[in-house]
Amino acid sequence: MAVGVATAAYGVSFGALATAAGLDVWQTCFLSFVMFTGGSQFALVGVLAAGGVAAGPSAVASAALLGSRNVIYALRMSPVVGSGRFTKLFAAHLTIDESVAVSVAQPTARAQRVGFWVTGLVVFVGWNLTTLVGALIGNLIGDVSSYGLDAAAAAAFLGLLWPRLKQLQAQAVAVGAGVVAALLTPVLAPGLPVIVAALVAVVVGLTNWLGDRGGPPGSQTAEISPIEGMPS
């Protein structure tokens, strides 16, 4: 509940940023309802705000790339969410960073299932409500960056990521991707630096240069969850 409410709260920032980028209220709310993955949503409107309509392809590519991580999450959550085609279909829409993070932190299978569904539902309802609020008041509050709303998503992601940075390999992935993104931002079109940084993260992560070579990939996450699956 705490994670869900806190995450939903910064939906206000997305609503305000989306309308500032040129979307109307209904487009903004529709995007939150059907896309419902904050990282992709912020990437989309961020690139559009920086490059306008001409940056549309980069915006879509950035959003799609960030959203692709949810496929890996889904593989990890498949044995957790429950059986049934409708259940799996509904769970797919709620498979986000927060619901997965809360789920894998639980010690039992039942607690993992409860953590996933409660977090996902609370975030979904709250996120869509606060998106509407942000979209409605976006023009009234002026420059959203002056309130720090443009940094809310990054801060939330850092909060979710921080507990995972216990191993040297994970730290190398994070630092390497961050440095690449920072260096390329002034020279590449909006949206492209995050794509290149993600590719760097994948290469560093898959090669496992600094990881534990004594066990199979993903073995370092066994302490987080009894169910084997997605590597951190």
In a domain, 63, yes or no: yes
Mean pLDDT of the chain: 80
Instruction: Write the pLDDT tens digit of every residue in 183-202.
Output: 988 887 666 787 788 788 77
Backbone angles phi, psi at 75, to 5 degrees: -60, -40
Which tops the pLDDT comparison, 127 or 156? 127
pLDDT bin (cut points 50, 70, 90) of residue 152 is low
In a domain, 35, yes or no: yes
Average pLDDT value for residue range 110-125: 94
Instruction: Write the pLDDT tens digit of every residue in 35-50.
Output: 998 888 888 888 887 7
Full domain range(s) for residue 25:
2-162
In a domain, 70, yes or no: yes
In angstroms, the CA 65 to CA 26 distance is 24
Predicted pLDDT at 99: 92
In a domain, 228, yes or no: no
In a domain, 215, yes or no: no
Look up the pTM and report it: 0.70
In a domain, 60, yes or no: yes
**Count of the separate structural domains present in the chain:** 1
Q: Enumerate residues 6+ apart whose C-beta is below 8 A from 73.
A: 95, 96, 97, 100, 230
**Residue 203 near residue 70, CB atoms below 8 Å:** no
The pLDDT of residue 145 is above 70? no
Q: Which helix (H) or strand (E) holds 133?
A: helix 109-141
Angle between helix 2-9 and helix 11-20 axes, rounded to 10 deg = 20
* Coil, helix or strand at residue 82: coil
In angstroms, the CA 112 to CA 81 distance is 8
In a domain, 17, yes or no: yes
In a domain, 213, yes or no: no
Tokens at residue 197, please?
């940084």
